[in-house]
Structure formats: C-alpha cells, structure tokens
C-alpha cells in the first residue's frame, strides 16, 4: 500500500464547506478563454468569433429584382409591351429596356439597363410575345437596390459573437471560407473505482456499469466542447496519477467522477493536493457536496480539473451548475449561465435540508385566463430525488433551487427554477 493510500484511512474532510455562489466565483476566476484558430466556415456552428468581420462587398452587388415578373420602364404608360428577352439569376443580358418593351426576369436576377420597376407575374398577361399589365408600376417597385443588405467596409459581426445559422449565412454571403474562432475546449473524462465496468462486459458480483463517463461526455459535447474518454481509473494512486498526468499533458482540462468523498479508498483529493491547487473541496449543496475544483500549472498554462462526486445524479448536477459555465467561458462564450424563472409548484414539497438542494423537475408554461390571458411556469418534480437515482434526471428540464432550511413548500408556492432545455407550453 502506498503512502497516500495509508494516509487516507477514514480521516474527516479538511475542506471548509462553501456556498454555491462562492464556488462559481472561484471557478470562473480561475479558467481562461482559449486562443483563436483559423476554422472552416462549415465548422463554426456554436463557436465564438475571435475577430471583427467587415464586409468586402456590397450585397446585393447590383440592383436586383425581388420577385418573378417583368422589368420595364415605369414612365411607359402603354398597356401592351413587347417582350424582348429574359433575365435569370446568375446571368447578365445585354439587352436594354426601351419604351414599349419589357424583359421577363426571375427573382434575384440583376435589373437590365433601362428598367426601373418590376411588375409581378401575377399582375400580367402574356400572349404572342406581348405583355399586358393591369396597372402602371411606380419607380423602384419590387427592386432590391444595390447594398440594401450590406455595404462594402461595413462592420457586420463583432468579436465575441456566437455563430448560429444566420451568422454563418451572413459570413458565407461575404465570400469567407475561413474564419478565426475561439478554439473549442478539449476535455478528458475519467471514471474512477474498481467496481466500475465498461458497458458490454459481464458484471462480477459487486460491480456496476460505468454510466457517469458517458453522461458527462454528452454534457461536455452539449457545452460546445470536445470530450475525450480516458476510460476507468482503478482506485490506486499509480493508476489515478498516470491518467491525470496524461489528461493534463494532452487536453485543456479534466473531468473526473468518484473518489472525492472521505472513504478509505477515495484517493482523488490527496493526489490532487500534490499535483495542483485545490480551490475548494466541499460545497453546500445536494446533490454534489464533495465537488472539488483544482487548477494545475502545465507548461506555463493553468488547466482546470473538475473532480465530481461518484453518484450519477450528483455528477451531472455538479457538472451543470459549475463545470458547464466554465467550459463555455473557455470556449469564449459570454452568456454562460442557464436562464432562470420563477415557477409555481404543482404539488407540495418537503425540504428539510441544511444545504441548498437542486431538485430535478419538469417545468411547463401554462395559460391563466383569470389574469388577463397571461402565461406562468409550473414545476413538477421527477419523483425520488436520491443522488444515485439517474431516473430523476430523465425528462427533467429544470433544477429547482431550494434554499437551506426545514420547511414544507405548499402547492402554488413559487420557487426559482434553472431551465436546462426548452419549456413546453401546455394546451389552453
């Protein structure tokens, strides 16, 4: 048995319990935004722009029709005009519109010389090469003028912008194929414990399948980062040390689950004390009290380690509340916290804890005719809130924050809810 393992025994925790708000401040002040990298446009979804983008062209680069129809001169008051050609998008006609003539034109096509209006095809009739219009158009009708959308040299996106479908489409409009984005964080994920077995293998007596690593890797991916599995570390000092050092050498940070309690074989915290700075080792919350946050200096960089509890729900809730915002910050995101709303309890709830409790719940939006037709949020818990009951996370779209104190919350009382996903609107 190693010195670390002999030292563990069952000593009480030496870490003071801190409040969740203090834990968040400590974490966010000790993680850095990663550097920028040149990235293909098609890989930009969910990424953060690292530079201001200016348009290099006018858009549209010419006067263009906004509809299918006929380009003509608005001052020409003839009911019939001779159709002299056709103008399609992506092709230029060299024919000029003169009084008494018109050119058939398709949406997005450049306006032919001499024309100053377009009549929609619905308001015309064509027969034997002649065009009849129902009424004379006004100058500029159905025309998108040059640079209506963008002007050359115009600032179109600022550094720090989150790229979504509209932003990527706008960048493509300017002709950009490569852009500078904040690098996507690369996080190693490790499970610990001799009782943990890879899914697909046979279980021996006393063993369980590793669910934490797969859930946490999915959570990392949802935070716009790249997860990398380093497998299961045994409850030995050498095994843990080796995997942690591999993670710190090759990745931007590490997420572990298990090994942070005060049990005889919970080695993680003692090992982390040797490797780096433990900013806190216990938080006043349930589930997730043993949550530990560490930073380690690696080649002039400081890398974070999130040592999460081993219970499946505790690991996911701890990740959601503390690791996710930090990972988003590393990726350059500004808005890192989930939205919070006030929700009415759909049933009574007993809260007899000295800790902040984060209860898994389903929040819906409901209609209240008696208040003038307004909507309100309703919360229903997901059943037993045991830290080991992963089913309590299934279908949950919110965490209800119950402050410390022994009390019974009655149906209809309002509690703060952290929204994890979209909220369904119930039928009226």
Residue-level pLDDT at 353: 76
Residue-level pLDDT at 387: 78
Residue-level pLDDT at 26: 98
Q: In angstroms, rounded to a whole number, what is the distance separating the alpha carbons of residues 39 and 27?
A: 28
Give the tokens for residue 270.
């003692």
pLDDT-flagged residues of the chain (< 50) = 1-10, 264-265
- Under a CB-based contact definition with an 8 Å cutoff, are residues 358 and 417 in contact? no
Give the tokens for residue 310.
């081993």
User: What is the 8-class DSSP label of residue 111?
Assistant: P
**What global pTM score does this model have?**
0.84
Domains, the chain, ordered by start = 3-35+184-330 (3.40.980.10), 37-57+162-182 (3.90.105.10), 64-144 (2.170.190.11), 340-419 (2.40.340.10)
Give the tokens for residue 428.
């009226």
Residue-level pLDDT at 223: 97
Q: In angstroms, rounded to a whole number, what is the distance separating the alpha carbons of residues 356 and 362?
A: 19
Task: Return the sign of the alpha-carbon dihedral for residues 95, 96, 102, 106.
Answer: positive
Residues 6+ apart with CB under 8 A from 146: 58, 60, 61, 62, 63
Residue-level pLDDT at 33: 97
Residue-level pLDDT at 265: 43
Residues 6+ apart with CB under 8 A from 168: 41, 44, 45
What phi and psi values does residue 322 have, to the nearest 5 degrees? -125, -45
Which contacts of 363-367 are long-range, i.e. CB under 8 A and separated by 24 or more positions?
363/397, 363/398, 363/417, 363/419, 363/423, 364/423, 364/424, 364/425, 364/426, 365/423, 365/424, 365/425, 365/426, 366/425, 366/426, 367/425, 367/426, 367/428
Among 342, 343, 366, 348, which residue's Cα sits nearest to residue 411?
348
Q: In angstroms, rounded to a whole number, what is the distance separating the alpha carbons of residues 281 and 278?
A: 7
Residue for token digits 């689950």? 257
Q: In angstroms, rounded to a whole number, what is the distance separating the alpha carbons of residues 73 and 331?
A: 54
Q: Which helix (H) or strand (E) holds 242?
A: helix 237-250
Query: Is omega for the bond preceding 324 within 30 degrees of 0, making it cis?
Result: no
CA distances from 200 to 203, 208, 213, 388 (A): 9, 11, 14, 21
Residue-level pLDDT at 230: 96
Give the tokens for residue 81.
């005009």
């Amino acid at each position: 048995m190693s010195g670390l393992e002999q030292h563990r025994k069952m000593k009480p925790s030496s870490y003071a319990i801190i409040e969740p708000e203090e834990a968040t401040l400590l974490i966010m002040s000790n993680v850095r935004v990663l550097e920028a990298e040149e990235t293909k446009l098609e890989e930009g979804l969910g990424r953060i722009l690292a530079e201001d983008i200016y348009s290099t062209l006018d858009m549209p680069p010419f006067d263009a029709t906004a509809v299918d129809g006929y380009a003509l001169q608005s001052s020409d008051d003839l009911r019939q005009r001779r159709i002299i050609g056709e103008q399609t998008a992506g092709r230029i006609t060299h024919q000029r519109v003169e009084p008494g003539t018109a050119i058939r034109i398709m949406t997005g096509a450049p306006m032919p010389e001499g024309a100053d209006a377009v009549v929609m095809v619905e308001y015309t009739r064509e027969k034997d090469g002649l065009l009849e219009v129902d009424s004379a158009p006004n100058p500029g009708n159905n025309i998108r003028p040059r640079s209506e959308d963008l002007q050359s040299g115009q600032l179109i996106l600022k550094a720090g912008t989150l790229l979504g479908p509209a932003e990527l489409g706008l960048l493509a409009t300017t002709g950009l194929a490569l852009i500078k984005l904040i690098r996507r964080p690369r996080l190693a994920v490790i499970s610990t414990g001799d009782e943990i077995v890879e899914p697909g293998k046979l279980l021996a007596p006393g063993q369980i399948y590793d669910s934490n690593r797969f859930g946490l890797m999915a959570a990392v991916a949802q935070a716009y980062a790249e997860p990398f599995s380093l497998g299961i570390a045994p409850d030995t000092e050498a095994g843990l040390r080796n995997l942690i050092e591999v993670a710190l050498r090759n990745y931007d940070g590490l997420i572990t689950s298990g090994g942070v309690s005060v049990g005889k074989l919970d080695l993680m915290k003692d090992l982390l004390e040797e490797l780096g700075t433990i900013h806190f080792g216990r938080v006043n919350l349930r589930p997730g009290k043993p949550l530990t946050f560490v930073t380690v200096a690696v080649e002039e960089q400081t890398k974070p380690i999130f040592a999460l509890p081993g219970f499946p729900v505790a690991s996911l809730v701890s990740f959601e509340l503390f690791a996710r915002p930090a990972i988003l910050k590393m990726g350059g995101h500004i808005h890192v916290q989930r939205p919070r709303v006030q929700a009415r309890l759909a049933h009574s709830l007993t809260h007899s804890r000295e800790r902040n409790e984060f209860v898994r719940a389903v929040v819906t939006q409901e209609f209240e005719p008696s208040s003038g037709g307004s909507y309100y949020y309703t919360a229903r818990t997901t059943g037993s809130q045991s830290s080991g009951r992963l089913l309590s996370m299934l279908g949950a779209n919110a965490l209800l924050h119950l402050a410390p104190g022994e009390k019974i919350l009655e149906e209809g009382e309002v509690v703060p809810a952290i929204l994890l996903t979209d909220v369904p609107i119930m039928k009226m």
